Structure 1
């Protein structure tokens, strides 16, 4: 991509984790040069020069951010430039505000921002002389940043690192397939279906689906819940998390079985248990508790489930044997071990997503496809993420071979399934365009295991300035397309879906949460938080 195209991309960019405030800053400088402002010639000339310098710097920043694995110097430099963009935007905002006097729109508050270069100190040292001198000071800082890029030899780093992953191609509409795509688990599904509907034992029974992260436990449990839930008097599907929150878990269950609003956060755990016990006493209920991590959580929650001998059933999912045994009262027969997919089932899943079926795969991609599939370790989540990435690049054989080499280099020694999943998800995250990274990282503001409503997310993305378009309708459509692209790439998992395959809510896998948290810590990403007030009260239950 040429530097002019990079600059044009940066000019159109919203506030983002990759480019900082470069997009809004360039647009504001462009606005200042409009005839409406009637600036003095020296000031206008200075702004023109600053805009040219920033366009070049933003093109360099965009190019560096598109590298697969930037080195430490590149990461350090990108952090400096992003910080500079924020401080420069503050300065331009102040200038526009003083010039117009009508309250120019200010940039939202940012969190998770750690300044490596204290640019703000430099601005404090700028005496309020003239606007021309302020622009000159900004130009000096921009030129110094460009000089550091040359001193760090970052052009060599960027050219040696492939950027084939960052095309703006839209992923085909796959989410209808992915949300309920189960292969290789027919026997498990049949066994659980019979247990839920045909078991003659009237007593309350608990079954646990046990297996490694990304193996498909949640997908299986969710499909059974959707297909069979309405055969019971009441039903609920709730998700636990690594950070135990028993009160939220009990509140979720009570709200779903009663089909009512969430109880007050001030409600005590014992009151929630008593209310659940009373409501479920004479009912046949079906509860799914997904992703249990602590035996102590189960010890508390299980006391809310009465055994009224009404054929009630509970399904839990867990990654550890100790939790699975605890859930099932140490009856190993009630534990279903979910194993990774075999080679045939993995290939079926991969090719169905990328090509529609295996026989549609071009001959020149069959061998590299097999190698990529093997590196996914039979984990459906890893397979879906890689397939979602490649589905928009079916004609780009360079990308396929590069991705396979990346996976082989990272997973050369006998990796564990957990290591395989993390590496695939990390590679998938790195391949996201900057605008999707920003939207995805915003989701980390929610607690792990939280169900996020699509309509709320889109409003928040738009409110924070992550989406840019000329018309309001275009902004909404673009935000919607970003959401489904993240679903298609396996970055977020659909939760509630209507009969037209429209996703109403979503969640994020805990391994993906870890990767996003790491990205924020390592890259000092800036994320706006003006729309939400992050209090424990807000996220009760």
Structure 2
């Protein structure tokens, strides 16, 4: 009887196995179909987004397109989810044990336990929804072919009631803060060369480019100088033929001339010829306001003839590369319009807000100052918010309400919605691939400075970076960021010594525009300190400034960012892997995270995991299941050992992991600790950045295994012993892509011989060597691409500058911790042609520095720290005419006293804009204060 029972079960299992196979075959076909649907939807959305933006601009236009776009987007979300679910099923199905597979085939359990059934059901439901969306679209009064052809392209010239009309009618006494740029532009127009000169005025929306151009255009000196003047609004929708015709008509009207006949009926060649002939003998001024595209230059270059009469063109634009592109065809001067300084911003605010009295009541000064600061020097924001406040009672309570509810006011108040419209134009004009990148700035809290690498790595993990030319993704992502900066949408906060952008931010008011777009697009939900509840429905990302009591639930979420500085709720961490199984980005940087759940490896799709500056000390072994992980950021964590399972991550590209002891006294060898890696590190075949690796843990075997990491571009290796020298040289020589190398010895007296490195990496740009060296390796002076060199502990008895001076691209030179054990350094004329920064720190015997006249002419920063024998200021510093910063820390008192104002050596440094003294106040790394020595650089 038992055998009969077993036979019956086996028969059922066989039956269900056949059903399973049939189901699998059907799902595969449906899966391919729905992937094609997604591509079609995404292609349509690229242009449909622009149509939806057009709808918002056009008053009274039917909302049908916007609704239809929203439905399409949500359908695309569902398709993306089911694709990721299917891919996860495919990858994991072979890992199930035979026992689990058998259970899934038992009647009554199969359809509940097998995820394939759920996927098949979801696909059918999506296809049904797409059919309904198509039916609804047929009721709308628009043609989808018009969307694809771009008939809804951009904005038109301002009309009555349009907020962009205001700059044309601002009285002279209402203009604040433009006096200096106005005078500069007027001089450009009426003085100088007789050649045709084009002036590009560039800056973000709302900065006052049109206001400035109009007041320059109407300036009495300009009117007298140019008898032929025309002010043309271009905007995003224009016909060049119409613009040039309008220009000619205005010229003719002002000079009482007859308009040339037949302009409209001429072919293009004859039309351009007619325009050139008309302008041939005239001294003219034409302003093209609000130019958006580079091709505009190509369209006007043949018509606007250079007739040696001192004619001028002014172009205003939000886009730097548009401003620069005119250089191909014209003599160009680019004027970057700056934001208002605080005093001018306050003056403009008071003029707009308090009208006749122009003075702020005492009780409102503090609140008004805060509001002006939030406007960030943007004239349009100041005018808009000032106009709103002018209608309110002059009471603290009323103004506090406006300040606290500014986001809501921006969306509903007529004074501020116009501001939002103008700033939105720049976002709406973005290419589709940059819109998601721009929206990412709304994820970060207000006034947050964003690290470039952090941001671009998140873009890459989300799949925003499209690499069609097989270039490094980092290179493409930086191009995307540069484009946003060029379009005046993103501000640069900090730049590195090499000129690369280090951090960025967006204007607070621009961020409000982004947040509005994010909500419309279900891009991200912000959880903030105001207790805002979690959005019900679709949201692709969570930005958590403060956790609420609500339980986060959204299986389609792709990214979570934790900015909350408090303890993380247990329910959030416990449910992370089960509730957000499609996550690609998870960022805990600077949070109080203490540990990761053991089942972290269930986040199958995770590509970016940022644990930097958290309290995490151990990674779970399941981390080895994150097969798609590209970035694992463990900077400033006390993770000192990685599990061997990490070596399974064949797609891992970036692994920065270290801890720096800022809490204690500085020691070059022990200030930074790295990580121990297990045997098998050669499996990380995609790894591009690894720092810092503890070499003494794995020894020569580990160093030799590094040869397998052929993609490595940055390597930091610590605790290197002398006997590792030859093996390390052989490994480095195999790394042809290496751009940054950091080697630190195990102990101060450990001598590392690097001379056997006969052919160094050809692309090496950064080199840090902290070790005793028998001599300066011959290959270092031949590193033609080197931009940064830091030497420490090397104890060279001879001046190393003589060997290093020919490095053609060196920008920064650091000699630290007795890198040089002699008494005198000599910077020779002709050496270090591009050097910008020099740092001399803890050189115990250094007592004098010679700088030849005309040497180091490009040097901008010079720092001295804890050089006890350097008691007399080098007089040759007077020869460094381009030096912008001179810093001293822990230097002998007699040197510091000599450069104080009135001191005998103050004259040597009086030409330097910033001279700074650092004084220690405790034993910790950051226990110090800074004070400045007054100088007169322009005296």
Aligning the two structures, in what range does the TM-score lie when normalised by the shorter sequence? 0.3 to 0.5
Greater strand share, 1 or 2?
2
Instruction: Indicate the structure (1 or 2) with the bigger Cα radius of gyration.
Output: 2
Greater helix share, 1 or 2?
1
Q: Which structure ranks higher in relative contact order (CA pairs < 8 Å, sequence separation ≥ 6)?
A: 1
TM-score by length of 2: 0.25
TM-score by length of 1: 0.43
